[in-house]
Amino acid sequence: MENTENNFQPEENLKFESRLDLSSLNEGVEKIKKELETVIVGQHKMIDQLLVAILSNGHILIEGVPGVAKTITAKILAKTLSVDFSRIQFTPDLMPSDILGTSVYDLKKSEFEFKKGPIFSNLILIDEINRAPAKTQAALFEVMEERQITIDGKTYELEKPFIVLATQNPIEQEGTYRLPEAQLDRFLFKINIDYPKLDEEILIIQREHTLQNHGKLDHIKQILSGTKIKEYQDIVKQIIVEPNLLEYIAKLVVNTRENAFLYLGASPRASIAILNAAKGFAAIRGRDFVTPEDIKEAAIPVLQHRVIVTPEREMEGITSIQIINQIIETIEIPR
From the list 301, 290, 309, 300, the residue with the least C-alpha distance to 328 is 300
**pLDDT tens digits for 272-295?**
999 999 999 999 998 989 999 999
Give the per-residue pLDDT at 143: 87
Hey, what domains does the chain have and what are their CATH numbers? 17-216+224-238 (3.40.50.300), 239-335 (1.10.8.80)
pLDDT of residue 244: 93
Cα→Cα distances 119→7, 43, 171, 209, 256, Å = 62, 28, 27, 36, 34
pLDDT of residue 17: 59
Spatial separation of the C-alpha atoms in residues 24 and 28, rounded to whole Å: 6
> In angstroms, what CA-CA distances link 197 with 43, 71, 73, 208?
10, 20, 18, 16
What are the DSSP calls for 273-305, one per residue? HHHHHHHHHHHHTT-SB--HHHHHHHHHHHHTT
Q: Quick check: 3 pLDDT over 70?
A: no
Q: How confident is the model at residue 120 (pLDDT cuts 50, 70, 90)?
A: very high
Instruction: Please report how many Cα atoms fall inside a 13 Å half-sphere around the Cα of residue 162, on the Cβ side.
Output: 17
pLDDT at 212: 65
Closest to 266 in 3D by CA, of 303, 298, 321: 303
175 confidence band (pLDDT: 50, 70, 90): low
For 127, 204, 229, 231, 279, the CA distances from 234, given in Å and listed in that order, are: 29, 37, 9, 5, 11
